């Protein structure tokens, strides 16, 4: 895990994870990863096991998708990030992927969390759509108590009464979690928004509020994405977000809150 040394998340290590919602094939993943790498991204995401609301939707390439991501990561020297959805895939994924993600639907999957406590890879724990801060931190404890303290929390929007956005991004989570815990917290504006037009403002709000990183769905042909096309942004938009980050973080570091 040498390449993770300078690439962890925390106040001194702001990182952006970007890539498509789902891995569709090797070539398109490689193309997306290369484009993102050329723009300064060092962590690439892509889902292989997609937990879709409808059984009729594309549910990912499965193990083959993980191998595509692992190979692209090796080829381009990028850190790979992907969601693990079930206990019997933990060892397989830990062999090939650098950072494992627990998706919102699995925040309460305690057997999965326990197994993730036994591996030596960072785990991004997304907040359940209706989980309180304490429930979220209690889930993190399942991983930490089992021996893995490399837990990164990810706020990705919660379910509220507002139907215009896919979820409601809870920006307060950043400050509240930082008061309650020492774990890094990153923000996924894509799933919160459900709409690419909202992603830049949510991303920058998160940076201004002190987030330790971002995870954003992005690929060269956003509207052609099989999964989550509406919320996927273009590499140009991502570059604009990246350009705004340093100044926002500088302002924040000067403020004594």
CB of 199 to Mn ion, least distance (A): 12
Closest Cα partner for 199 from 172, 234, 223, 173?
234
CB of 225 to Mn ion, least distance (A): 9
Q: What is the largest CA-CA distance in the chain?
A: 51
Question: How many Cβ atoms from other residues are within 10 Å of residue 202's Cβ?
Answer: 23
| 21 contributes a contact to ligand PEP by CB under 6 A | yes
Report yes or no: 104 and 126 within 8 Å, Cβ to Cβ: yes
Distance CA 69, CA 237 (A): 23
| 104 contributes a contact to ligand PEP by CB under 6 A | yes
Q: Which of residues 126, 150, 166, 196 is near ligand PEP by CB under 6 A?
A: 126
| 17 contributes a contact to Mn ion by CB under 5 A | no
Cβ proximity to Mn ion: between 212 and 228 the closer is 228
Q: Which of residues 191, 213, 225, 233 is near ligand PEP by CB under 6 A?
A: 191
CB of 30 to Mn ion, least distance (A): 20
Report yes or no: 196 and 237 within 8 Å, Cβ to Cβ: yes
Q: What are the residues facing 81 on neighbouring strands? A: 45, 99
Summarize as ranges the residues that interact with ligand PEP (CB under 6 A).
21, 47, 103-104, 126, 156, 188, 191
Binding site for Mn ion (CB under 5 A): 21, 228
């Amino acid at each position: 895990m040498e390449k993770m040394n300078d690439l962890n998340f925390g106040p001194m290590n702001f990182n952006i994870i970007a890539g498509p919602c789902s891995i569709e094939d090797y070539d398109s993943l490689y193309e997306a990863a290369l484009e993102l790498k050329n723009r300064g991204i060092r962590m690439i995401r892509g889902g292989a096991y997609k937990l879709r609301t409808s059984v009729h939707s594309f549910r990912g390439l499965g193990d083959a998708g993980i191998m595509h991501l692992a190979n692209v990561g090796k080829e381009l020297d990028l850190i790979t990030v992907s969601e693990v959805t079930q206990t019997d895939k933990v060892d397989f994924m830990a062999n090939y992927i650098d950072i494992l993600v627990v998706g919102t639907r699995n925040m309460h999957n305690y057997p999965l969390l326990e197994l993730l406590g036994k591996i030596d890879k960072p785990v991004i724990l997304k907040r359940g759509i209706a989980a309180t801060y304490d429930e979220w931190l209690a889930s993190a404890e399942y991983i930490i108590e089992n021996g893995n303290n490399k837990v990164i929390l990810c706020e990705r929007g919660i379910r509220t009464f507002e139907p215009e956005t896919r979820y409601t991004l809870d920006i307060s989570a950043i400050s509240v979690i930082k008061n309650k815990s020492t774990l890094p917290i990153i923000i996924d504006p894509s799933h919160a928004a459900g709409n690419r037009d909202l992603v830049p403002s949510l991303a920058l709000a998160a940076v201004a509020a002190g987030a330790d990183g971002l995870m954003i769905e992005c690929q060269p042909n956003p509207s052609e994405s099989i999964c989550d096309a509406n919320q996927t942004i273009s590499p140009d938009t991502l570059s604009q977000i990246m350009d705004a980050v340093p100044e926002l973080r500088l302002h924040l570091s000067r403020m004594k809150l």
